C-alpha cells in the first residue's frame, strides 16, 4: 500500500483519480481549497477508511509540508483552471499556478517524493504542426491577452519541475492534459465540453 497525496483532489480530475487509487488499495490524502473543486465530488468518499481530506490551499505551507511528509507520491493537480476564470482573474491564476507548484516541488524535493505535475495542452499555443511533440517550438499570443497567462504559468511550472529534476534529482513526471471530460465536470469556469452539452 502506498500513501498518495492529490492536490486539487476535490476537482473533476482529482476526484476520479482519488476513486481509482482507492480501488487499488492506496491510502489517499487530498488537499483542496474548493475554489474550483467541490465537496460534492468527494462526499461519497468521506466514510472510506483509506480516504483523508484537508480543505485548505496548497499555499498553506505547513499543512502542505506535513501532507507531503506522510506520502510517497504527489499528484499535483491543484491549479487555477478554466478560460473564464483565467480571463476574469489573471493575477489569481498566475499566482496560484506558480506559487502552488513551487511549494509542492520544494517540499517534495526536501522529502525525496515522486511528483506527477499536471500541465496542459495550452502550452502548445498557436502551433499548427500536427501531431504535437514535446520538442516543438512554442508560439504563444501577446501578453496583453490574459488568455495566455494560463499557458505561460503552466509552462513555467514545467520549467520549474524540470529544473528540480536537473538540480535536485527530484523524480518528476509532467503530463500535458488535453480536453478531459466526464461525470462531475462543471462548465462553470469555461470548460468547453460541459458547456456544449448543457
> Of 53, 124, 150, 189, which one is the catalytic site residue?
150
**Neighbour count for residue 122 (Cβ, 10 Å):** 20
Can you read off the three cell numbers belonging to residue 138? 512554442
Closest CA to 142 of 129, 157, 152: 152
144 tagged catalytic:
no
Task: Please tell me the distance from the alpha carbon of residue 104 to that of residue 164, in angstroms, as a whole number.
Answer: 11
Helix axes 147-168, 90-111, angle to 10 degrees: 10
Closest CA to 151 of 127, 133, 181, 115: 127
Active site residues: 150
Amino acid at each position: 500500500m502506498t500513501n498518495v497525496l492529490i492536490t486539487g483532489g476535490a476537482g473533476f480530475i482529482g476526484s476520479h483519480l482519488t476513486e481509482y487509487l482507492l480501488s487499488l488499495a492506496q491510502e489517499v490524502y487530498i488537499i483542496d481549497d474548493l475554489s474550483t473543486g467541490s465537496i460534492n465530488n468527494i462526499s461519497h468518499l468521506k466514510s472510506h477508511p483509506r480516504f483523508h481530506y484537508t480543505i485548505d490551499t496548497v499555499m498553506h505551507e505547513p499543512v502542505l509540508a506535513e501532507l507531503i511528509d506522510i506520502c510517497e507520491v504527489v499528484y499535483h493537480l491543484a491549479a487555477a483552471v478554466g478560460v473564464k476564470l483565467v480571463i476574469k482573474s489573471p493575477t489569481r491564476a498566475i499566482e496560484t499556478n506558480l506559487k502552488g507548484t513551487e511549494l509542492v516541488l520544494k517540499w517534495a524535493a526536501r522529502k525525496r517524493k515522486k511528483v506527477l505535475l499536471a500541465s496542459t495542452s495550452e502550452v502548445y499555443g498557436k502551433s499548427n504542426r500536427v501531431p504535437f511533440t514535446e520538442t516543438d517550438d512554442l508560439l504563444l499570443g501577446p501578453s496583453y491577452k490574459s488568455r495566455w497567462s494560463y499557458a505561460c504559468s503552466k509552462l513555467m511550472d514545467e520549467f520549474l519541475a524540470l529544473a528540480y529534476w536537473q538540480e535536485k534529482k527530484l523524480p518528476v513526471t509532467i503530463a500535458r492534459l488535453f480536453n478531459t471530460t466526464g461525470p462531475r465536470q462543471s462548465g462553470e469556469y469555461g470548460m468547453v465540453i460541459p458547456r456544449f452539452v448543457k
